[in-house]
Amino acid sequence: MAVTDEQVAALRALVTGDITENRRLLARFDRATDGAGYSALVNAAFFEAVDRRFGKGSAPADVAEYVADVRSRSDDIAEKVEPGVGERLIRKVLTGEPTDDIDSRSSATAKVFLLAALMADARLSDAELDQFLAAVRKMADHLLPDA
């Protein structure tokens, strides 16, 4: 199993703020065959975006401040991203903090919103975004079975 071009296109739409296109592409996915690849791709992108934004030396207060800032950007984000969940997901990337007790829906929702914010804040050029997507695609391919 490997990440597909369509899954990368859906992620590109998400991280560039084209939610209509993201939803259109996701609606075409077959959950059985595309779900694992897209999930691995989102997880790899989240890991990479967090690592680029924070690095290993960030304090927990920096993470809490960032999550609070992202939540303040819209009522929808504030409603859907619990502060503790968002902070713990970021700290997991930075410190390996366990998050097994966070339900998968809350985790996926928080990652998508935080990833979109991290990428918007990064303000990558088209070439930099292409490099980012190529790197996380490779990472995601290694997360999938039979990779």
pLDDT at 56 over 80: no
Q: With bands split at pLDDT 50, 70 and 90, how would you rate the model's confidence at 146?
A: confident
State if pTM tops 0.95.
no
Q: What are the pLDDT digits (tens) for 95-112?
A: 988 999 999 999 999 999
Q: What is the mean pLDDT of residues 108-131?
A: 95
Q: Is 110 exposed, middle or buried (0-12, 13-18, 19+ CB in 10 A)?
A: buried
Q: What ranges do the domains of the chain cover?
A: 5-143
Q: Which of 143, 145, 146 is nearest to 46 (CA)?
A: 143
Q: What are the pLDDT digits (tens) for 23-50?
A: 999 999 988 788 888 999 999 999 999 9
Determine how many CB atoms are found less than 10 A away from the CB of residue 141. 17
**Matching residue, tokens 């504030």:** 78
One-letter amino acid of 101: D
